[in-house]
Amino acid sequence: MVKKGAKVFVTGATGFIGSRLVKTLFQQYDCEVTVLVRDFSKLSSLSRYPVNIIAGGLDDENALTEGAKNADIVFNLGSAMDGSTEYFKHINVASLGRFLEISKQNGVQKFVHTSTISVYGCPESGIINENRKRQYGNGDYADTKLDGEKLVVDFAKQNDFQANVIQPTIVYGPFGGCWTVARLLGFPRSRVILVNGGDGICSAIYVDDVVNGMIALANKDTICGECFLVSGEEKVTWKEFFGYYSEMLGGTEFIEMSKEEALEYYQNTQRVPSTIAQLKDLFRDQELRHKIRDLPPVKIPYQFLKKCLPRKLSDSVIGQVVDHSEAFSVTDQPQEVEKPIWTLIPEEVSFYASKAEVSVVKAKNTLGYTPKYNLKEGMEKTFKWASWARIL
Amino acid sequence: MCDKNKALKLAIIGCGAISANAHIPNACKSPLFDVVYLVDKNLELANSQASYFDIPNAVDDFQEIIGKVDAAIVAVPHKLHYDLTIPLLKSGIHVLVEKPMAISFNECQEMIEVAKENKVLLEVGHFRRIQPVFQLAKKIISEQWLGKIESFTAEEGVVFSSPVASAAMFKKEQSGGGVLLDTGPHLLENLLWWFGDYGNLQYWDDACEGVEADCKLELTFDGGVTGSVNFSRLRNLKNQVNVKCEKGSIEIPIGWSEDIILKYDNADYETKVSATNEYTGQGNLGYLYNELEFFASTVLSSDAYFMKAEEAAKTVRLIEQCYANRQNLDLEW
C-alpha cells in the first residue's frame, strides 16, 4: 500500500513521470523512497527530497538487489530510450526479467511496470482498450516495451506475483520532454504539419493523472499480470492539443496537409538533393557565405563590382553571378528565411491521422482511476510552469 | 605530462569534476606547481586521474600528504572543507579551498585563525574576483558612473546537466545545501564586494528536507541598496545582474560575456564597456588558471592576494543566515 512510511523503490526516477511520482510519494504519502540513478547530473529535481540514492543502471543486478531488498513496492519507469536494437532488448527485456526475479526473491509486494500506448501500434480508428491486439513493427522502443510487458504479465501469472503494467498515452505537463518542452522549443523554429487539419485524436493525459493511476494500481490488491491504459477522458484533437502550445507561444505556423500530402512531403525530403539544392542548403549558413566571399577568387571581383557599380545594379549583378536564390545571396541585406517544416516520418503521420480513441474503462472499474485534470486545466498548469521555467 | 621541476609541491584533494576538468590540468600546466599527490576517497578515480596526468602519487587518505607537500587544493564535498582544511593548515600546508569556504561562519573563523597561527595562506576559490568583467563592474558601481545606486536584480541558473563524479552535491549530509550553497557563493560574494555588508534579508527555497534546486533572496545592504536574487538548477535564467542607478541601469553578464551595458534614462543609446585580460576567451578554465597563479604567487611572495579569506567568510555567513531564515518556496512542480 502506498502510505506513510511505505518503502518504495523507483527506477527511471530522474525522468519526467518518475520525478513527478517521487514528488507525490513524498508530499502526499510520506513514503521512504529509494531511487536508482545512472546519471547523477539529473538529480537536481529529485534531490529536493530526502531520497536514498543507489547508483546504477537497470542491468546492474547488485544495484537492483539493493533497492529491492528494502522495498515494499517497486515502480519501474526506467527504460532504454536510444541505442542499438540489442541494447533496447538488453535493457527493456532481459534486464527487466532479472529485475522481476530479484524483486520477487527479495520480498517486494507490488511491482508496477510502465509501458506505453505504442504497443498497440497505430490503428486508424476504433477503440483502443487492453484487449486490443498488440502490434510489432513500431520501432525498437515500442517493440521491446511490448516484449517487456509480456514478460511482466507472464512472470506475474506464473509466480503469483503482483506485477502489473500501466500504459500511459500522450503525457504532458511540467518538465515534460517530448510532448511539452520539445513542442514549446520547436514550434517557434518550425512550420508544424497538422495531418488532416489536426483532426486526429490525441489521447492526452496530464502527468499527475499518470502518477495517480500508478499509485492506484500499486494500491490494488489481488491482481497480477494485468495491463491498464491511463489517459484523459476528453476527446481531444491534435489541433486542440497543439493549439494550447500555440496560444502560449503567441502563435505557431501550422500547415494543414492530408495524410497523403504529409507522406509525399516526407518522401520528397528523402530524395537525394540536387547539387544546386545542396549548395543552396550549404549557403544558408551566413558565416560560411562570408568566408567564401572572402576567398581571393571571389573577393576581388566581388569588391570590384560593389565599388564600381551603383548599389542596386551591383546587387543585381552579384545576384546573377553568384546568387541563384534568396538563400544564396551574398548581399548584406537581411533575408527573411522561411522556417523549415517539422518533417514527420510515416509512422508519425499515421499516428497523427489516427482517430482511434483510448478507453480507460478498465482502470476506472478496477482501480477506481479517475483523471483529475481536463486538457484546459492541465495546460493552464503547464503554461504556469513554462513561464516560470523561462521557456516561453 | 607534468614537469617535475616546479616551485610548489602540490596535492589536489578531491578528484571530482572541477579537479579533473580544471585544477589538475591547470596545475600541471603551471610552472609554479609540481603536482605530486592526488587524493580521493575513491582510490580508483585518483589512480586513473594520476595515470592520465602522469602524477606520481594517488592516495585515498589526505593524511598521507602531510609533510610531503607545500600546498593543497581542497575540492571535496562542501561539508568536508573545514574537516580537511584545518589539519592541513595545522601541518603548515598552504590551502586553496573551493567555495563555499565552509558551511558555517564559525568554521570559517576557525579556519582563518588556524591559518594565522600557523603562518600559512588560506585562500578561497572565488575566482570571479580576478575576472576583469567583475572588476570593471566594481569600478563602475564604486565610482557611480550612472549616479547613486538604488536597487538591483540578479539571477544565475541553468538547467543542471554538468557531469558529476558522485551524487555528493545532491546529498544534504555531504553538501550541506543546494543551489544557494553551490552556485550562490560567487554571485553573493560579488554583491557583498560591490554593495558592502547587508542588513536585512529574506529567503525562500524549494527544498523538502533535501537540498534546494531553486531559491530566492531579498536583500537590503547597509548603504540602502535593495535587491532580489534568484538561483536555479531547474531553469535557464538570464545570468545577469541589473543594477538600477539614479541615471540609468547597468547590465552585468554572468559567465557569457565580458561586456557591461550602460543604459541611460531618457536616452536612445547605450554604452558597451568591455573588460578582458590574457585569460579572456578561455572560459572559466582560464580564470581558474589565473586563480592558481595568484595562489602560488601569494605563497611565494605573500603580496598578491586576490581576496582575503575573511571576505569569503562573509559570504558563508550570509548563506547561513538564509538557511536559518528559510521560508518555503511553494512551487507546484
Give the residue from B170, B175, B211 with the most A CB atoms within 10 Å of its CB, the best one to mutate. B170
Contacts of B308 (CB under 8 A, 6+ apart): none
Which residue does chain B place closest to A40, by CA atoms? B167
Question: How does DSSP classify residue A340?
Answer: P
| Class of CATH domain B8-125+285-306 | alpha beta
Q: Which residues of B touch A26 (CB under 8 A)?
A: 208
> Is the dihedral angle over the CA atoms A20, A21, A23, A28 positive or is it negative?
positive
- Give the pLDDT band of residue B164 (cuts 50, 70, 90): confident
Amino acid at B120: V
From A99, A106, A329, A127, select the one nearest A231 (Cα to Cα).
A127
Distance CA B81, CA A73 (A): 38
Unique residue bearing C-alpha cell 575573511: B310
Distance CA A158, CA A112 (A): 17
A174 touches chain B (CB under 8 A): yes
> Which phi and psi angles does A9 have, rounded to 5°?
-115, 125
Encode chain A (392 residues) as per-residue pLDDT tens digits. 899 999 999 999 999 999 999 999 999 999 999 999 999 999 999 999 999 999 999 999 999 999 999 999 999 999 999 999 999 999 999 999 999 999 999 999 999 999 999 999 999 999 999 999 999 999 999 999 999 999 999 999 999 999 999 999 999 999 999 999 999 999 999 999 999 999 999 999 999 999 999 999 999 999 999 999 999 999 999 999 999 999 999 999 999 999 999 999 999 999 876 776 666 666 666 666 666 666 666 666 666 555 555 554 545 444 444 443 444 444 455 567 889 999 999 999 999 999 999 999 999 999 999 999 999 999 999 999 999 999 99
Give the residue from A43, A208, A382 with the most B CB atoms within 10 Å of its CB, the best one to mutate. A43
Any bridge partners for residue B122, and if so which? Answer: B95
- Give the pLDDT band of residue B280 (cuts 50, 70, 90): confident
Q: What is the average per-residue pLDDT within B213-241?
A: 97
Distance CA B250, CA B239 (A): 14
Instruction: Specify the CATH superfamily of domain B128-282+315-328.
Output: Dihydrodipicolinate Reductase; domain 2 (3.30.360.10)
Q: How many Cβ atoms sit within 10 Å of the Cβ of residue A339?
A: 12
The pairing of strands A163-168 and A110-114 is: parallel
- The CB-side HSE value for B162 (13 A sphere, CA atoms) comes to 15
Any bridge partners for residue A357, and if so which? Answer: A127
What pLDDT is attached to residue A321? 41
What pLDDT is attached to residue A293? 64
A184 touches chain B (CB under 8 A): no
Length of chain B: 333
Asked if residues A239 and A389 have their Cβ atoms less than 8 Å apart, the reply is no
Any bridge partners for residue A256, and if so which? Answer: A194
Contact B331 A37 (CB under 8 A): no
Has domain A7-250+345-388 been given CATH number 2.30.36.70? Answer: no
Using DSSP's 3-state secondary structure scheme, residue A200 falls into coil
- Give the pLDDT band of residue B165 (cuts 50, 70, 90): confident
Distance CA B110, CA B112 (A): 5
- Give the pLDDT band of residue B154 (cuts 50, 70, 90): very high
Q: What is the mean pLDDT of chain B?
A: 94
Give the residue from A19, A45, A180, A181 with the most B CB atoms within 10 Å of its CB, the best one to mutate. A45
- The string of pLDDT tens digits covering residues B12-48 is 999 999 999 999 999 999 999 999 999 999 999 999 9
Cis check: omega of the bond before B31, within 30 degrees of 0: no
Using DSSP's 3-state secondary structure scheme, residue A194 falls into strand
What pLDDT is attached to residue B304? 65
Burial of A388 (0-12, 13-18, 19+ CB in 10 A): middle
> Which phi and psi angles does A18 have, rounded to 5°?
-60, -45
- Written as nine digits, the cell of B120 is 600559512
Distance CA A2, CA A6 (A): 6
Any bridge partners for residue B214, and if so which? Answer: B232
> Which phi and psi angles does A192 have, rounded to 5°?
-105, 125
Q: What is the C-alpha R_g of chain A? A: 26
> Which phi and psi angles does A170 have, rounded to 5°?
-90, 100
What pLDDT is attached to residue B281? 83
Rounded to a whole number of angstroms, the distance from the CA of B301 to the nearest CA of chain A is 40
> Which phi and psi angles does A343 have, rounded to 5°?
-70, 140
What pLDDT is attached to residue B284? 86
Distance CA B211, CA B232 (A): 12
From A149, A59, A140, select the one nearest A99 (Cα to Cα).
A59
3-class DSSP string for B150-203:
EEEEEEEECCCCCCCCCCHHHCHHHHCCCHHHHCHHHHHHHHHHHHCCEEEEEE
How is A31-73 classified by DSSP, letter by letter?
-EEEEEES-GGG-TTGGGS--EEEE--TT-HHHHHHHHHT-SE
- For A258-271, give one letter per residue: b (16+ CB within 10 A) or e: ebeebbebbeeeee
- Where does CATH 3.30.360.10 sit in chain B? 128-282+315-328
- Written as nine digits, the cell of B213 is 534546486
How is A215-256 classified by DSSP, letter by letter?
HHHHT--S--S-EEEE--SS--BHHHHHHHHHHHHT--EEEE
Which residue does chain B place closest to A17, by CA atoms? B333
Rounded to a whole number of angstroms, the distance from the CA of B129 to the nearest CA of chain A is 27
Q: How many Cβ atoms sit within 10 Å of the Cβ of residue A125?
A: 11
From A193, A202, A81, A98, select the one nearest A142 (Cα to Cα).
A81
Which residues 348-387 in chain A show a CB within 8 A of chain B?
381, 384-385
Q: Which residues of A touch B212 (CB under 8 A)?
A: 48
Distance CA B170, CA A241 (A): 36
What pLDDT is attached to residue A306? 57
Which residue does chain B place closest to A387, by CA atoms? B235
Contact B164 A26 (CB under 8 A): no
- Written as nine digits, the cell of A323 is 546568387
End-to-end CA separation in angstroms for chain A: 40
Q: Which residues of A touch B235 (CB under 8 A)?
A: 388-390
Asked if residues A363 and A229 have their Cβ atoms less than 8 Å apart, the reply is yes
- The string of pLDDT tens digits covering residues B79-104 is 999 999 999 999 999 999 999 999 99
The pairing of strands B198-205 and B326-328 is: parallel
What pLDDT is attached to residue A275? 72
Unique residue bearing C-alpha cell 562542501: B78
Task: Name which of A42, A46, A50 is nearest B209 (Cβ-Cβ).
Answer: A50
Contact A48 B333 (CB under 8 A): no
A390 touches chain B (CB under 8 A): yes
Asked if residues B16 and B24 have their Cβ atoms less than 8 Å apart, the reply is no
Q: Which residues of B touch A49 (CB under 8 A)?
A: 208-210
Task: Look up the ipTM and state it.
Answer: 0.89
